[in-house]
Structure 1
Amino acid sequence: MDKKKRRLLIRTIILVVLAAAVIYTLYANFTKDERGVLKAGDQAPDFVLQDMEGNSHRLSDYKGQGVFLNFWGTWCKPCEKEMPYMENQYQAFKDEGVQVLAVNVGESDFQVNKFIEEHNLTFPVVVDSERDVQNAYGIKPLPTTLLINPDGKIERILTGEMTEADIKQHMESIKPN
């Protein structure tokens, strides 16, 4: 094989490798929204977060109960508006096997404690200070609520503000039989 043919072969191989890298990069970028996104029917990823008293709450500890998993922030007006409704329905459903777990995303204990006091919240409020759980669940807009059935599977993912009637209906849907 002469030098010209070998050079042509090497250049062709390099070109093919570069083209493959470009195609893979484009594919990865266009499909990244579909990868790692949770949907109804998926097992809810387990996590452990601390509440304001320093108690640990592990999602898997609630297996056998329905979990109304709400991601929120103190600055979020729709979140603030639905909190009293969540508290009312927590009181109605906590003895029927439905728990509320409110995950604050990345705010200070001071802000969260002030919010809990202002709204007289009695359900567990945990803080995701590093936003690890928010990222694991792929949570973008707040509020976002996941309805988790007693088997630990996601029934529904709800974004945006809910009325008290909505919350009651959703809690009823994840109540153990």
Structure 2
Amino acid sequence: MQSTIKKTIQKVSFYLLGFALSGCSSANNEMAGGNLQAINHTMHGINWMSVDGYRADGGGGSSCCIIMPVKWRPGLKAQIEWEVDPEPFGPTPPLGTDEFRAFMVKHKANYQRHNTTVDIPEWPGTERCGLKVHFLVCNQIKVTSSCWAFNSEHYPIKEPSQMKEPAVCPK
């Protein structure tokens, strides 16, 4: 119960921060809150991601919140950090057993952490719809604030889902 209350308070705090920032800033620097969404194009698991310090689930759903400018401006960037599980679908021992706990210690030792800085592409007017972070093979990242649904003909990122890692990644 306390965990649920704490999460609710955190979400409300983020919204209030966004409203406070937007109310106290000039028109060119107006900020607002938006959701973060991870879209995984790889065969690996994305355990979590962080965008400019705002941490979110890597599982594909939207998470609250990130504070972004209402209007796009040149040079807008996002610092992305994430954790990869290279073998998320392998067999595991029964939950709650000593064998499972020992397995997880070894399994977690294979997790990989990455970070990069990417440009945030321009969005028209004030049609910013949060930030969608696309995880591609070779630890590449693309982001968009498009309001179109993923796989829509108008969606700007066209890479397919379930991409397999190439034998050699480009440098």
TM category, shorter: under 0.3
Q: Which has the larger radius of gyration?
A: 1
Report 1 or 2 for greater relative contact order, CA contacts < 8 Å, sequence distance ≥ 6: 1
Structure number having the greater helix percentage? 1
Structure number having the greater strand percentage? 2
